[in-house]
Chains A and B, each alone.
Chain A
Amino acid sequence: MSAFLSQDWPWYVSGLAIAGIMTALFFFGKTFGFSSNLRNICAMFGAGRFASFFRFDWKAKQWNLWFLVGSIIGGYIAIHFLKSPEPLNLSAATIADLQKLHIPFDGQLEPAAIFNWQFLLTGKGLLLFLGGGFLIGFGTRYAGGCTSGHAITGLSQLQWPSLIAVIGFFIGGLIVTFGLFPILFK
């Protein structure tokens, strides 16, 4: 079992497993939407004093915060006990493209070249991590959902608004990949 879990998962296994999480939450009487937690945490810290958007009963959404706590533990378990010894099987074309941006492929999940505090505490690092985080928090609430709420749950219900949101995700992603990165990592 452990050997099975530790190898690289084929994409269809991962896809089925994600649908399983969504299904489990349906049967718990909840809905899969991770980014709502950002609003819950703001409300928990008293943001309701500043904006009516945060004046709601966040305790009713506590289940989602427990889900968040679990997801952190899950990441820890996966890295420490279920990690594949093989390097990430990234496509050669992506490796070549990133090489041009001076981000060498090191076989790990995240590029060590940028996922470190030394890079983070530069102007570019702050733009990428603090700025990127800001856009995630602002954009997901504006759109009313992220990958879990729109791309997975919304599309599963054939909701057209979610398709518009997903198209937006890609517009933003392509702007950064082909517009910002070539300038930032010149």
Chain B
Amino acid sequence: MKAIKYILTGIVFGIIMTKSEAVSWYRIQEMFRFQSFFMYGIIGTAVITGIIVVALIRRFHAKDISGQPIEFYPKEKTWKKYLFGGTIFGLGWAMTGACPGPVFVLLGCGYSVMLVVIVGALLGTFTYGLIRDRLPH
């Protein structure tokens, strides 16, 4: 039954992604062409709100619903993996017009072609797992 709250949160996420039009190939093109404030407004509002939420959680040492303190773990202090990996992901994001969440949300919206994107994404992750020792991080 623990699954229920994650399924419900996921449903809300799927509705938000669709209604915000962040799943739209058109909107992603508009963003990468800097022709509208729309996507920047969405991401900007989410980040500014997020900064406030994280600051409040830290300030008040907030605990999660199981009573454990909410902690944030610093990401590795390096740059290669973020820059190279990020750029590779950016190529795929612009090509498909979808980042990983929307890839699955769009499947629910009825775009069955996303099945091919999902197969590609799993192959990509699998390939990364095979060759990661040989990549600069």
Chain A contact residues, CB within 8 Å of chain B: 5, 8-9, 11-19, 21-29, 34-35, 37-39, 41-42, 47, 50-51, 53-54, 62-64, 66-79, 82, 84, 88, 90-91, 93-94, 97-98, 105, 109-111, 114-117, 120, 126-144, 146-148, 150-162, 164-177, 180
Q: Which one of B3, B41, B76, B88 lies within 8 Å of A138 (CB-CB)?
A: B88
Chain B positions 54-98 with a Cβ under 8 Å from a chain A Cβ: 54, 57, 62, 64-66, 68, 70, 72, 74-79, 81-98
Secondary structure of the B contact surface, majority rule:
helix
Q: Which one of A105, A128, A133 lies within 8 Å of B118 (CB-CB)?
A: A133
Q: Check A70–B86 contact: CB distance below 8 A.
A: no
A-B contact count (CB 8 A): 479
Q: Which one of A54, A129, A133 lies within 8 Å of B129 (CB-CB)?
A: A54
In angstroms, Cα B91 to Cα A162, docked, is 17
Known contacts A28-B6, A70-B6, A110-B111; decide if A144 and B81 are in contact (CB<8 Å): yes
Minimum C-beta distance from B24 to chain A (A) = 5
Q: Check A29–B70 contact: CB distance below 8 A.
A: yes
Minimum C-beta distance from A153 to chain B (A) = 7
Which residues from chain B contact A171 at a C-beta distance below 8 Å? 83, 86-87, 90
Minimum C-beta distance from A163 to chain B (A) = 8
Q: Check B86–A150 contact: CB distance below 8 A.
A: yes
Which residues from chain A contact B135 at a C-beta distance below 8 Å? 142
In angstroms, Cα B24 to Cα A39, docked, is 25
Chain B positions 92-125 with a Cβ under 8 Å from a chain A Cβ: 92-101, 103-113, 116-125
Known contacts A79-B110, A133-B118, A161-B75; decide if A177 and B32 are in contact (CB<8 Å): yes
Q: Check A67–B6 contact: CB distance below 8 A.
A: yes
In angstroms, Cα B3 to Cα A71, docked, is 13
